A = this chain, B = another copy of it.
Amino acid sequence: MANEIRVGLIGYAFMGKAHSNAYIKAPVFFPEIAARPVMQVICGRNEQKVRQAAEQYGWSRYETDWKKVVTAEDVDLIDISTPNNTHAEIAIAAAENKKHVFCEKPMALTLSQAKEMRDAAREHGIKHMIAFNYRRVPAVAYAKQLIEQGKLGTIYHMRAVYLQDWILDPNFPVVWRLDASQAGSGALGDLGAHILDLAYYLVGEIKAVCAATATFIKERPVAGEAGGLSAAAEEAAKKATVTVDDAFVACAVFENGALGTFEATRFANGRKNHNRFEINGSRGSIVFNLERLNELEFFSREDEGGTQGYRTILVTNAQHHPYVGHWWPEGHIIGWEHTHIHQVADLLDAIGKDQMPCPSFDEGVKNQAVLEAIATAAQTRRWEEVPKV
């Protein structure tokens, strides 16, 4: 009989739904993983909603106090899918209770907080993972293989953007993601964390950055209860100040000498989930866009003379492309949710085999270091070195 891992999920909203789906599907489509999840308990502050989520997704029970979950005897793994300001406290408590921890990005509000989380995890010998699910897009994982095989040669450039447009309307309220006390930052931590992790994963460490941030709409309506504002914020007047960035832009120099540009915004009209990057090397180039996540564009300078061109690879071939053999025949595309299923399958498999999952908190801390360097550079208005962590 397969090893079992009893999961406690903190958070039932967007990420809670995506993670629940992953726990349902990972054992069905990845039956060979070394440990199967048991959907033990889901936790949230709103009892009515968390009860409904437990029913809908099939969690055995629910809690409204996360402390009961991190101390529960029947839970092996804590999945943190809550707003960013709670990550550190929950993760450290979980580690202290010898629970494995799987934490959504961005890891924390600050670099020092992230380091504390990492140090606690190390100290207590637990398994830990940070949820950079876009590494598990088959096209991205395949891009990684191409780069490791040298198909791009020496890398000269990465340009990455993560563009959305969901707060263009000035009447969109100050939800928790627009509140620095809960989110830490805006587009930078929410979207920038993803593209900067892909930069680390595919190109390597960033040495220094310069940057600017902007908050285009500085006052917005206060969010209703549903919006999830802190109690303090709700007491405020009808209009609240947006305390995070709407967008950031940054230039970067990688340790290996490559140049990078990075940008994330929630003000790019018509872009819904446009996480796009292009990497150019001496032997070839690749392009990826999350809105067409089943595709990878690849240019090879080694193609025969006149036939060179960017090719659109439909990354659905079981023989050649990661993950997709668990799904459908070639050409039958998968969706965004599958990146979470792959991530959870890899997480469970690693824990089942007593291995550290990847990316661990070590890489989460590196990511946080770049986020902090960018935020700092936008303040100092000069190039900032990314601290070694």
- Point out residues on A near B: beta carbons under 8 Å: 14, 17-18, 21, 24-25, 28, 31, 56-58, 142, 145-146, 151-152, 154, 156-157, 159, 161, 163-166, 168, 210-212, 214, 216, 247, 249-251, 253, 257, 259-261, 263, 265, 267-274, 278, 280-285, 290-294, 296-301, 303, 305-317, 319-321, 327-338, 381-383
Contact = CB atoms under 8 A, between A and B. Distances in A.
A310 B312 contact: yes
Contacts of A305: 317, 319-320
A146 B303 CA distance: 14
A157 B247 contact: yes
A281 B309 contact: no
A313 B320 contact: no
A330 to B, nearest CB: 5
Contact of A161 (B159, B281, B301): B159
A273 B331 contact: yes
A58 B28 contact: yes
A154 to B, nearest CB: 8
A155 to B, nearest CB: 10
Copies per complex of this chain: 4
Nearest to A299: B270
9 pairs of A and B residues whose beta carbons are closest in the complex: A272-B331, A273-B331, A306-B320, A270-B299, A311-B311, A335-B335, A309-B311, A309-B313, A210-B210
B382 A146 contact: no
A284 B270 contact: yes
A236 to B, nearest CB: 25
B334 A337 contact: yes
Contacts of A284: 269-270
Nearest to A278: B268
Contact of A280 (B251, B268, B382): B268
A285 B269 contact: yes
A27 to B, nearest CB: 9
A280 B216 CA distance: 13
Given A267-B280, A269-B283, A310-B312, 7 more contacts: A211-B251, A273-B330, A273-B331, A300-B307, A308-B313, A312-B312, A327-B337
A301 B166 CA distance: 12
A156 B272 contact: no
Contacts of A154: 216
Contacts of A291: 294, 314, 331, 333
A336 B332 contact: yes
A299 B269 contact: yes
A378 to B, nearest CB: 9
Contacts of A303: 303, 311
